[in-house]
Amino acid sequence: MSQLAEPESSSVTVRAAAKINLHLAVGPVRDDGFHPLETVYQAIGLYDDVTVTDGPQWSVHVAADAGIDLGSVPEGDDNIAIRAGRALTAHHGLGLTAEIEIHKGIPVAGGMAGGSADAAATLVALDRLWGLETSDEDLLAIAAELGSDVPFALIGGTAVGSGRGEVVRSVPDTSQLWWLVVPHEIGLSTPGVYRHFDVLAERGAVTPADPKVPSDLLDALEVGEPIGYLLSNDLEPAAYDLRPDLAELRARLEELGAEAVLLSGSGPTQLALFEDVDLARDAAARLTGLGILHWLAPAPVAGCHVIELL
Ligand code: ATP
């Protein structure tokens, strides 16, 4: 059993950012059912806040910003935040339990890895609450077991992800971007989009190749040059085929003067890229006028960090 340092606080709040994929290359499905990925992740300024306090048993309560539908988020043991808590205590051989409060600012089932953000934030918050001093290496390993996007949620910024996306490496990024994030009230299931990707591959409608990260995108990020024409997402054909209604919204976003419009991960959230904040604000105002829910988020932003200790 690990030695516990003195607990510093009775409550810890950690903030975790949403992720987008600037590049998402998906290879053919493997025998174990997973798809090899090469992706460039970027953390953007939409956040979930996770507060942990000691409790007699594991519990989770979830609330959300206006416009975020909590419909499919479980409040029991299936919530990934509780799975994260159990994984951390198992790692240290401890029988501790906690109450977890999640405030979601990341759209649910929107392809922005909100659940993964909550898992990562819970690991960091509990580690701090109980003074566990888990090494970064161990936190990343526990995170990778919890889900492909959880390690990136820990580190934030901009990073290359490989394997299933869980092997992450930070990359230099001097860009200052603005993303207009446009959710959709009907979510898309990530496994469902991957299954449809396989169906399209069987039909020959897409031809998955060995996934690679383009060096021209990494070079542009490093020096802060425009990246709009370098964005790509191999899941777009599957997501748009499952949800043809998304094409109309995409066409509207393309009319706003964005440098590019991109599907976020497995969708259905769409992302319009701006490098000029005034153009981004004008576009946001036009969406407001059209009654289309959206958020304006800067990028890149930091990974999980403590915002309150009580
Ligand atoms: P992925 O992370 O697979 O890309 P996503 O970003 O599209 O998924 P999430 O918001 O992470 O979507 O939620 C995916 C599903 O995970 C939800 O529909 C819900 O059933 C489940 N889930 C479990 N715990 C959480 C949580 N803390 N927050 C959100 N969803 C959760």
My answer on whether 200 and 106 are in the same domain is: no
Residue of minimum CA distance from atom 15 in ligand 1: 109
What ipTM, to 2 d.p.? 0.93
Q: Would you state the pLDDT for residue 294?
A: 95
Write out the chain in H/E/C secondary structure.
Answer: CCCCCCCCCCEEEEEEEEEEEEEEEECCCCCCCCCCEEEEEEEEEEEEEEEEEECCCCEEEEEECCCCCCCCCCCCCCCHHHHHHHHHHHHHCCCCCEEEEEEECCCCCCCCCHHHHHHHHHHHHHHHHCCCCCCHHHHHHHHHHHCCCHHHHHHECEEEEEECCCEEEECCCCCCEEEEEECCCCCCCHHHHHHHHHHHHHCCCCCCCCCCCCHHHHHHHHHCCCCHHHCEECCHHHHHHHCCCHHHHHHHHHCCCCCEEEECCCCCCEEEEECCHHHHHHHHHHHHHCCCCCEEEEECCECCEEEEEC
My answer on whether 229 and 197 are in the same domain is: yes
My answer on whether 195 and 150 are in the same domain is: no
My answer on whether 77 and 124 are in the same domain is: yes
Residue where the block lists tokens 């906690």: 98
**6: in domain:** no
* 9 neighbors 309 (Cβ within 8 angstroms): yes
Helical packing angle, 114-129 and 80-92, nearest 10°: 40
Each residue's pLDDT, cut to its tens digit, for the chain (310 residues) gives 445 555 568 999 999 999 999 999 999 999 988 899 999 999 999 999 999 999 999 999 999 998 898 988 999 999 999 999 999 999 999 999 999 999 999 999 888 999 999 999 999 999 999 999 999 999 999 999 999 999 999 999 999 999 999 999 999 999 999 999 999 888 899 899 999 999 999 999 999 999 999 999 999 999 999 999 999 999 999 999 999 999 999 999 999 999 999 999 999 999 999 999 999 999 999 999 999 999 999 999 999 999 999 9
**81: in domain:** yes
My answer on whether 237 and 256 are in the same domain is: yes
Which positions make up the binding site for ATP? 107-117
With a 6 A CB cut-off, is 113 part of the ligand 1 pocket? yes
My answer on whether 131 and 49 are in the same domain is: yes
My answer on whether 21 and 55 are in the same domain is: yes
My answer on whether 184 and 164 are in the same domain is: no
My answer on whether 290 and 233 are in the same domain is: yes
* 47 neighbors 82 (Cβ within 8 angstroms): no
Residue where the block lists tokens 């690679």: 212
Index of the ligand 1 atom closest to the CA of residue 80: 24
State the CATH number of the domain containing residue 65.
3.30.230.10
My answer on whether 276 and 166 are in the same domain is: no
With a 6 A CB cut-off, is 283 part of the ligand 1 pocket? no
State the CATH number of the domain containing residue 243.
3.30.70.890
With a 6 A CB cut-off, is 46 part of the ligand 1 pocket? no
Cα–ligand 1 centroid distance for 115 (angstroms): 4
Range(s) of the domain holding residue 71: 11-172+305-309
**3: in domain:** no
Q: Would you state the pLDDT for residue 67?
A: 87
From CA 85, how far away is CA 89, in angstroms rounded?
A: 6
With a 6 A CB cut-off, is 108 part of the ligand 1 pocket? yes
Domain count across the chain: 2
My answer on whether 278 and 168 are in the same domain is: no
Cα–ligand 1 centroid distance for 146 (angstroms): 12
Active site residue 104: no
* 111 neighbors 267 (Cβ within 8 angstroms): yes
Residue of minimum CA distance from atom 28 in ligand 1: 115
Active site residue 149: yes
My answer on whether 183 and 167 are in the same domain is: no
